[in-house]
Structure 1
Amino acid sequence: MARMRIQDIAAEAAVSPSTVSKFINGHYDAMSASTRSRIAEIIERTGYRPSSVARNLRLDRSRMIGVILADIRNPYSSAMLGELADRSAAAGYTLTCAISGNNPSKEAEAVMRLAEAGADGLIVNTCGGNDELLADTCDRAPVVLLDRDVPGASIDLVTSDNGCLVAALLQEVMRDGVDACWLLDEHNDASSVRRERTATFERGLRSACARGGCIALARNACAAAAQLTKMSCSSGGSPIGLIAINGLVFERLVEALAVAGIDVPGAARIATIDEYPWNRVLFGGVTTAAQDIAGLAAAALELLIERIERGRGPCGSRRRIEIPGNIIARRSTRTDSGPTTTTPQPLRAHR
Structure 2
Amino acid sequence: MTAKRITIQDVAREANVSVTTISRFLNARYEAMSQETKKRIEQVIEELDYHPNALAQGLKGNRSRMIAVIVVKLSYPFCVSLIRSLSNALTPEGYNVIVCETEGDPKREAHVLKTLLGQQIDAIVIQTNGDNLTELETISKSVPVILVDRKFKLPHATNVLTDNYEASMKMTNHLYAEGYQNVFYVTETPNAISTRSERLQGYLDSSSRYHRTPHVEIVKRGDDVSMQSVVERIKENISKRPIALYTANALIFHEIYPHVQQIDWPSPEKLGLATFDEPDWIKLISPSLTCVRQPVPEMGAWVANLLLQQFKDGYEQPDEAHLKIIPSELIKSESTRLDRGDGTVSDTL
Match of 2:203 among 201, 204, 209: 201
SS of residue paired to 2:335: coil
The TM-score, its normalising length taken from structure 1, stands at 0.83
Alignment-derived partner of residue 175 in structure 1: 177
> In 2 relative to 1, CA 308–179 (structure 1 residues): closer, same or farther, beyond 3 Å?
same
AA matched with 1:250: F
Over residues 279-334 of structure 1, what are the superposed CA-to-partner deviations in whole Å (9 max), with x where a residue is unaligned? 23413111010011210111122223323333443432432211122111111100
Alignment-derived partner of residue 121 in structure 1: 123
Distance 2:233 2:247 in 1: 17
Over residues 48-78 of structure 1, what are the superposed CA-to-partner deviations in whole Å (9 max), with x where a residue is unaligned? 5544333322211101010110123422222
Distance 2:297 2:163 in 1: 15
Distance 1:176 1:37 in 2: 58
Query: Given the alignment of the two structures, is residue 53 of structure 1 paired with residue 55 of structure 2, yes or no?
Result: yes
Match of 2:310 among 307, 331, 339: 307
**Which 5+ residue runs of structure 2 have no aligned equivalent?**
none
Match of 2:157 among 126, 150, 155: 155
Identity of aligned residues (%): 24
Distance 1:71 1:285 in 2: 27
Q: How many residue pairs get matched?
A: 336
SS of residue paired to 2:334: coil
Distance 1:155 1:60 in 2: 22
Alignment-derived partner of residue 349 in structure 1: none
Distance 1:66 1:114 in 2: 8
Alignment-derived partner of residue 236 in structure 1: 239
Query: Given the alignment of the two structures, is residue 25 of structure 1 paired with residue 24 of structure 2, yes or no?
Result: yes
Distance 2:72 2:327 in 1: 22
Match of 1:280 among 283, 286, 290: 283
The range that moved more, 147-156 or 256-265, is 256-265
> In 2 relative to 1, CA 264–303 (structure 1 residues): closer, same or farther, beyond 3 Å?
same
Distance 1:98 1:29 in 2: 33
> In 2 relative to 1, CA 4–335 (structure 1 residues): closer, same or farther, beyond 3 Å?
same
Alignment-derived partner of residue 294 in structure 2: 291
The range that moved more, 19-28 or 124-133, is 19-28
Q: Is the 8 A contact 1:160 1:291 kept in 2?
A: yes
Q: Is the 8 A contact 1:144 1:304 kept in 2?
A: no
Match of 1:64 among 50, 55, 66: 66
Q: Is the 8 A contact 2:142 2:317 kept in 1?
A: no
SS of residue paired to 2:256: helix
AA matched with 2:275: T
Distance 2:327 2:152 in 1: 21
The range that moved more, 82-91 or 323-332, is 82-91
SS of residue paired to 1:110: helix
Alignment-derived partner of residue 184 in structure 1: 186
AA matched with 2:83: L
Q: Is the 8 A contact 2:137 2:154 kept in 1?
A: no
Q: What's the RMSD between the two structures over aligned residues?
A: 3.4
Distance 1:259 1:243 in 2: 18
Query: Given the alignment of the two structures, is residue 221 of structure 1 paired with residue 224 of structure 2, yes or no?
Result: yes
Distance 1:29 1:237 in 2: 68
Query: Given the alignment of the two structures, is residue 245 of structure 1 paired with residue 248 of structure 2, yes or no?
Result: yes
> In 2 relative to 1, CA 120–29 (structure 1 residues): closer, same or farther, beyond 3 Å?
closer
Over residues 196-250 of structure 1, what are the superposed CA-to-partner deviations in whole Å (9 max), with x where a residue is unaligned? 1112221111111111232213544354233223234225332122211112101
> In 2 relative to 1, CA 63–10 (structure 1 residues): closer, same or farther, beyond 3 Å?
closer
**Which 5+ residue runs of structure 1 have no aligned equivalent?**
345-351
Q: Is the 8 A contact 1:20 1:39 kept in 2?
A: no
SS of residue paired to 1:133: helix
> In 2 relative to 1, CA 37–332 (structure 1 residues): closer, same or farther, beyond 3 Å?
closer
Shift of 1:81: 2.2
> In 2 relative to 1, CA 43–323 (structure 1 residues): closer, same or farther, beyond 3 Å?
closer
Query: Given the alignment of the two structures, is residue 331 of structure 1 paired with residue 334 of structure 2, yes or no?
Result: yes
AA matched with 1:63: R
